[in-house]
Amino acid sequence: MLKTIRNIIYILMILIGFVAMYSLLNAGNPEGLFRPIFPDPLYDIYIAFTASVTVFILGFFVFFFRDQEGFQKLVELNGARIRKMRKKNKSDEEIADSILKAMGFRSGYRYNMAKKKLIIYLSEFQ
């Protein structure tokens, strides 16, 4: 499901990116593709801006899905280790610390963000 959505987003990014590129490179052209629909050349700039912002927003969705998929795989790959630690009554926070230390994360902003996300995915893991 996630791969399908991600592929659709990639396709939309490419198509909308071409619209943005075309409207930027042909802004004000009297024979432009959008001229029959929008007679005022000022609309070329609006179209380019809107398409560019849309591609930017779609990029955030791609980043979100990749991030989500990565943490799910990380939890799945460490499933046996997580179950063993839970049998020893370790908390999700201790398990997340253990996994992140094994990956070479020690401290800092990236460590704290990864730990918070990992704890969320650990709470959903059975």
pLDDT surpassing 90 at residue 42: no
Quick one: pLDDT band at residue 2, thresholds 50, 70, 90?
A: low
Burial class (CB within 10 angstroms; exposed 0-12, middle 13-18, buried 19+) of 110:
exposed
Predicted pLDDT at 118: 85
pLDDT surpassing 90 at residue 73: no
The candidate with the shortest Cα–Cα distance to 17, out of 58, 61, 60, 51, is: 51
Contact (CB, 8 A) for 67 and 114 = no
